[in-house]
Each structure stands twice: as structure tokens, then as C-alpha cells.
Amino acid sequence: MADKQPIQKTYLAVPYEQRTVADEAGAIWDKKAKAWFTKGTEVPEALKQFLPENQKEHPREDPRTAFGKFLRDNGAELQGLPDMDGEWHRIALVGDGKETNASYRGFLDGVPNGQFKNFKGDDVPLQWISKGDGLTQQEKQRLVAEAAQNRENRERVRATEQEATAKRAFGIWTNLKSWATPENCPYLARKNVRGYGVKVADDGRMVVPLRDENGRIWSLQFVGDEKIYLKHGRKEGLFHTIDPSKDLENGRDKGDKQTIIIGEGYATGADVHKATNLPTAVAFDGDNLVATAKAVREKFPRANLLIAADDDHHLPNRNPPLPNKGLKCAQRAAEAVGGKVLAPSFTPAEKERGATDWNDLKQIRGEKGLLTALRDSFVQMQREHARSLGKDKGLGRELEMSR
């Protein structure tokens, strides 16, 4: 069943001193957008005076235009005008194509200003400050309303595209007849892992469904020499569950005795599950770990959540150095849901070979070596979280029993 569509909104530029007039005429305050709106596209006559296009404009440069130029001059791939709502927004770099390596935020309060972070460059954000005077309250309200309306329109288009992609994904998934195995899927053979709830395309690529916490498929990941997703598909907060024994379905009443592992890629998830026999969620990449952990936590509020981290040890050694994204994303996910991190520990020789995740460790040390490393990581986790030793003993027994 499709998710209920949100109401359509038309945002208004209401001066503070006229908020009572707008309220009495039926306008509604949006706390998140910090702007007034009316439902639907038909605006009541009494509220038309507050439409942004009916506001008097002053002959000065729109701060969004100036901030947008600043972002583009510093390498951002910006389409249209930037959102200046005080929140951080991910953005792609020119020629990069991924909205994972930069972000910006802008402010309209006082003298308009903003910041830009290039994660491939210096950790210190670049600062932008408008050369003009501060905005009047009326100008600010107009810009806030326009920005809120633009976000509303983009979100509606994105929701429509994601819904269409979900239907397409379900059709493709249903028509795929063969489950992926190491015998028919080169990726599984190369990674030396089993297929858990994944299918194989005609060209041999592994196909992984991206599901929400209710099991609905929203998109598909195709894994071969590279990993690609269906265009316009949703990904945030979606995951693939490895749980062939249906422990999650059958053990909802286990409460805080239930342990769930969350990892980035499929191969890591498959290996960690096989070694521990614990239900495992695949988040697909580090940027989706926090959203996936939150979705799993909402579904299983009392479960113990462990984040099987990647260790991108090579990134801090670059020039300029970058954060260890795998560990950083895992730590953020653990903090967001009260979970803990299971991080692999590699020898210098293993790092030289490019090992960064649990599957790489298994490929080098074998399955027994993987289980030993998981136990070592668990012991280290216990030491770092000594206050919660009592709660963690159960997992230690589960790891021991999976030998």
C-alpha cells in the first residue's frame, strides 16, 4: 500500500505584525519552515495579499543569488537557488555526481551569511557574508516563503518520482525468477558469500531490494563491477534484511534480549550474519547508516543494535586528509540509537592489501578468523562501554554459540 500523500501547501509572506490577520483568515504556521501557509493551491481572497509575488521588491541583489554564486565558485554543483534555512544541505561537487562530499547552510537573519564544507578539502568551512545591508522583516518573510514553497514543490516531485520507481522496482523484482547464488552470480562468487534474499539478473548481476521497515520495496540495487540503483528511487532509511530464520518476525517479544547487526554493504552483512547467526540489516552505504539504524530502532525499540563498521583507514592518509568515513558514520549511527560499534582491526599488511571491511577480513583470514576478530571487537567494545557490561553478556553467549 502506498504511503499517504502529504497535503499540498502554498506558502505566504506574512509580516510579523500581521500574523493575527493571517491566522484569522485561515493561514497555518509551519514551525519547521518558519513560514505561514494555506492548504491547497486555491488561496482565499483574504490571504492573497501575502503571496510572495504580491510583495514589493527592493532593488537589491537577492542574497540567495549571491550565496549561490559563492557556492558555485567554490566547486558546488548547485541547481537553482540554495536553501537558506539554517540547516545543512548535502550537495555534489562539480564532476563528482554524489551528494556526499560537500554541504552548505545559509542564514537570512540579520546580514545574510552562509558556510560551505568541501569534505575533499579543508575541514574548516568556507564563510560567506552578504555585502549588502541586513534584510527588512518584509524581505526576509518573502524569501523564507519562496524558499519553503520551492522545497514543497521539489518534495512533491520527488515523492511522485519515488512512488513511480517503487512500482517499477516491484515489477522488476517480481519478474526475476532466480535467487542469486555463488554458482550463478559472479559477485557472490568473488566475495565468497551466500545469497540471502537476493536475486540475479539475466546479465549475472546481483539484485538487492531496498525495503522500508514494513517490508515495502522502494528501489533495487544492481551489483556487478559497480553498484547502481534505479533512477529516482528512494534510499534513505531503506535496508535489506538478512534473517533466513525469521528471528525478527518470530521474536518480537524478546525485547532487550534481541540483538540486531547493521552494516554497510551486502558482503559484510552476509559474512557477519553467517558468523553470528544474528539478524542483520544492510544499509547499502555509510551515508545511510544513521537513517537505517533509526528505522530499525523504531521497529524494535528494545533491541540491542550493533553497527558493523567499515574502517576507511586510507582516507586520513590522503593529501589533504579526509575523515575515516566508515568509522565516523558507524559511530554516528550508534550514537543516534543507543547502539554500539563493532569495528574490524587490521594489521599493517592487511591495510596495505586494501582491506577495509569485515568481508575483506574474512577473505584474508578465513571464516574462523572472522569469528575470532568479531569476538575481539566485541571484547574491545565491552571495555569501552563498561557501564553496560550486564546488558552485553547475552551477545557474548550468542557469538560463542555460533562457533
Mean pLDDT across the stretch 40-69?
85
Pair type for strands 280-282 and 89-90: unpaired
HSE-CB of 294 using CA atoms within 13 angstroms: 10
Strand ranges in 332-394 using DSSP code E only, listed in sequence order: 340-342
Residue pair 12/27 in contact by the 8 Å Cβ criterion = yes
Residue pair 305/346 in contact by the 8 Å Cβ criterion = no
Q: What is the CATH number of domain 176-401?
A: 3.40.1360.10
Residue pair 261/296 in contact by the 8 Å Cβ criterion = no
Which ranges of 251-303 would DSSP assign to H, the alpha helix?
Answer: 266-276, 289-299
Handedness of CA 207, 212, 216, 217 (dihedral sign): negative
Q: Which residues pair with 221 in a beta bridge?
A: 208, 229
Mean pLDDT across the stretch 189-206?
97
Residue pair 217/258 in contact by the 8 Å Cβ criterion = no
HSE-CB of 163 using CA atoms within 13 angstroms: 11
What's the one-letter identity of residue 354? G
Handedness of CA 64, 66, 69, 75 (dihedral sign): negative
Residue 365 has pLDDT above 80, yes or no: yes
Q: In sequence order, which residues have a C-beta less than 8 Å from that of residue 137 and are 6 or more positions away?
A: 15, 16
Residue 198 has pLDDT above 60, yes or no: yes
- Residue 392: how many CB atoms within 10 A of its CB? 18
Distance CA 256, CA 305 (A): 10
pLDDT of amino acid 143: 82
Phi, psi of 391 (to 5 degrees): -75, -25
- Residue 200: how many CB atoms within 10 A of its CB? 22
The percentage of residues in the chain with a pLDDT greater than 70, rounded to a whole number, is 89
Residue pair 176/207 in contact by the 8 Å Cβ criterion = yes
Residue pair 32/147 in contact by the 8 Å Cβ criterion = no
Spell out the domain ranges in the chain: 9-56+138-162, 63-135, 176-401
Residue 160 has pLDDT above 70, yes or no: yes
pLDDT of amino acid 1: 41
pLDDT of amino acid 403: 43
- State pLDDT tens for residues 57-76: 655 678 899 999 999 999 99
Residue 82 has pLDDT above 90, yes or no: yes
Which ranges of 78-202 would DSSP assign to H, the alpha helix?
Answer: 137-175, 186-191
Residue 362 has pLDDT above 70, yes or no: yes
Residue 256 has pLDDT above 70, yes or no: no
Distance CA 320, CA 120 (A): 7
Helix pair 266-276, 358-384: axis angle to 10 deg: 60
pLDDT of amino acid 401: 46
The percentage of residues in the chain with a pLDDT greater than 90, rounded to a whole number, is 64
pLDDT of amino acid 58: 59
Element (H, E) at 133: none
Of residues 302 and 99, more confidently modeled: 302
Global pTM value: 0.75
pLDDT of amino acid 85: 86
Element (H, E) at 316: none
* 122: confidence class by pLDDT, cuts 50, 70, 90: low
pLDDT of amino acid 285: 94
What does the DSSP 8-state code read for residue 36?
Answer: E
Mean pLDDT across the stretch 18-47?
91
Q: Mean pLDDT for the chain? A: 88
Residues making up the chain, counted from first to last: 403
* 261: confidence class by pLDDT, cuts 50, 70, 90: very high
Residue 402 has pLDDT above 50, yes or no: no
Q: What angle do CA 330, 333, 339 make, to 5 degrees?
A: 95
